[in-house]
Structure 1
Amino acid sequence: MSSPSTTPTTGPDPEPGGGRLVLGCTPIGNAGDASPRLVAALASADVVAAEDTRRLHRLCATLGVTITGRVTSYHEHNEQTRTPELVAAVEAGSTVLLVTDAGMPSVSDPGYRLVHACGEAGLPVTALPGPSAVLTALALSGLPSDRFAFEGFAPRKPGERAKLFAELAAERRTLVFFESPHRTAATLQAMAEGFGADRPAAVCRELTKTYEEVVRAPLGELAGWAAEREVRGEVCLVVSGAVAATGGDVDTDALVREVLLRVADGERLKEAAAAVAERSGVAKRELYDLAVRRRAQ
């Protein structure tokens, strides 16, 4: 049996001549949140790979940092071709600093592919921790934070979005989503329909910026709030997890909705009921019968 592979990590001061990949956490809004380690890394890295080089230069100008290394772009449209170049730079002994527009690289941003490639090559990878929109929104939401799941952006297509929310309706952990401002109202409405209008939630907008706003209310109210205004800026949606009903039963209505959405997507009713039953712990026969009854109605 082969042993698990491990990726070397390095501290802030690597061995002279040793290459490494550094993931740099950038401010999510307020440039003052940049860490001293990030400032030092921007000034000293041999290569700075940025999701948007123009934003990088604006950030450096604000921080008063002069980049002495080579600057290159690294985004979703070129990461497949640029990854081998950056891996080769690390292999050659360079310190490669990867930064995205905001937050931690690889978390709903480019970076995973490069980290994976360096790991496969046995090259050192480390991170400069810092601001995180996910954790900031979770903390400000006032919802349970002991267990949570980050779901990224919800699907754009209404059918796919409804299917996802039906699958997540029985999830007990707090859920965190990113969303674009012009889709926020539609997503909140779909959440109210999929999770229930009374499910507690929060809209966290423009975090750490001048017009930061956190609105806490049940999903139905938040959907109405968003529909009445033009939502602007970067948005995080935080939704409370499902609560067991009296007697310890899960929300069977949500599970039945998931079964029927699977069926509408082409899955056989028996197989859909079995899949949802296995995940939720509810009896397969019960879900099947409830789904048949719901369809008849």
Structure 2
Amino acid sequence: MKKAIVIRAFSENPDFLGRADWLASEEDFLRCFDKAVEAGFEGVQLFIDREGYFSLASDLKVAERIAAGAQRAGVSLASLEIAPFSYSLTDDDPTVREEGCKTIARAMEVAAAMGVRGVLVIPGWVGLPWNPAAKTVRYDIAYERTRDGLKAVAPTAERLGVSANLEPIWNRFLLSPLEVRGLLDEVGSEGVGLLLDTGNLIQFGYPEQWIRILGPRIKDVHFKDFRQSVGTVDGFVNLLEGDVNWPEVMAALREIHYDGFVIAEMFPYKFYGDTILKHTSVSMDRILGR
């Protein structure tokens, strides 16, 4: 398994939903890559929004230059995250859902140009507990729309050799590994898989069980920890400080012969933010048995 971290860990903004508009030039990316290597990471997960220097709207040559810079720095590009909730496959408006499919397809084109094998996809929601104003979607309808949207992007994924990787989050949706397995099997494409986030699952399950049940459908893994006694987003804590059973998670990953990236989704501290890099790197080395 290869050790990676999200590029937003290099930000000065500790907000876990923070954007990446501070990455305004090739040099900004190169600084992140150099810091990643210095901290002992082998990969970086990129972040793409609709606008900005590196965005869905920018020329693919920008993406290619960033990829070349990563190669020079000696770091792999582990995954590509589309800005959360900037698109939706579950919205009531079919035009919004169609645009969501186009957004995912464009992100996969960018990923292919960079040699990135997976795009993180958050399909939408049934509800958002931190945003009561968000309109709820009936569960079965959200499921059907997600399945149809993933089927629509699957041919593009297969053609480009890039996987659209579904991530279950706190959106009151995809709450069971059996449900996720059924959804992915209904889509039935090697171009659509799962990004499993260990911390996200603690509130409603056991990551090690999800791993064993979903097996080869898992294309990427987020390492994150969560303390159940807190029970809110403030419960996301540093690796090894929460309730994730790391020995069991690692045993399960080895059982399914997972050999891809494990990506720390961590964000900078309020003060001396870059200290999170070393702390996370050391914790990951212990988890990985290095």
TM-score over 0.5 (shorter chain) = no
**Bigger CA radius of gyration:** 1
Query: Larger RCO: Structure 1 or Structure 2 (Cα < 8 Å, ≥ 6 residues apart)?
Result: 2
| TM-score normalised by length of structure 1 | 0.26
| TM-score normalised by length of structure 2 | 0.27
